[in-house]
Structures are given as C-alpha cells and as structure tokens.
Amino acid sequence: EDQVTQSPEALRLQEGESSSLNCSYTVSGLRGLFWYRQDPGKGPEFLFTLYSAGEEKEKERLKATLTKKESFLHITAPKPEDSATYLCAVQANTGFQKLVFGTGTRLLVSP
C-alpha cells in the first residue's frame, strides 16, 4: 500500500531561520511527488511536482528535492507569510491519478 509520512508534525521558526521539512514515501512505482501549501480555511495550493530522484525545483524561498525514498522541502530565510501547513503527496503509476497524502507539517514563522 502506498504510504507517505511527514516530519516534523509541527515546526516553529524565527524569521530568517532556515530549515527543512521531510516527506518519506513508499509507493509501487512513483509517477510524481507533489508539494502543496494549505492555509487555514483554504484548499491545498499546488507548489511543486517532482518526477525522478535527483530532481530539484525552486520557488522564492522554497526548494524541493527528491530521492528514491524521500523528499525535502527546504525553506530559506522564512518570513511570517510562509506560515502554513505543508502537505506532501505521491501518485503511483498504476494508471489512476489518485494522490496519497501525508498528514502535513504545520509551520509557524515568528517575526
């Protein structure tokens, strides 16, 4: 069964204090790994898709990397507006487009 585990559950940073979020996965053939950001009362907002080990994607202060077992979301010099829950999801190459999500990391960045 496809599975995603995210750590830590919650992370508190000071503004400017860089850190990384972890997403470990097991999947029967990876079609894609997706990172989303979710703000309270909102739906998940797409950030990145990673397709193969060694791939990296960047957007502003965020950088996502992928290995065969895990993905990291690196946050460089975060700002308070980066506070949100970050969700990781995998899609297997079974022919269906279902996403299997982790339980997320709640990030709080204090000024």
Partner 1 sequence: DTAVSQTPKYLVTQMGNDKSIKCEQNLGHDTMYWYKQDSKKFLKIMFSYNNKELIINETVPNRFSPKSPDKAHLNLHINSLELGDSAVYFCASSGTGNQPQHFGDGTRLSIL
Residues that bind partner 1 (CB under 8 A): 31-32, 34, 36, 41-46, 49, 51, 85, 87, 89, 91, 96-101, 103-104
* Dihedral-angle region of residue 16 (phi above 0 means left; psi in -120 to 50 means alpha; beta otherwise): left
Q: How far is the CB of 25 from partner 1 (least distance, A)?
A: 15
Q: Which residue has the tokens 């960047």?
A: 58
Q: Give the span between the Cα atoms of 105 and 10, in whole angstroms.
A: 5
- CB of 20: closest distance to partner 1 in angstroms? 21
Smallest distance from partner 1 to CB 95, Å: 9
Alpha-carbon distance of 49 to 55, in angstroms, equals 10
Q: How far is the CB of 77 from partner 1 (least distance, A)?
A: 26
Pairing of the two strands 105-110 and 10-14: parallel
Closest CA to 62 of 32, 93, 90, 84: 84
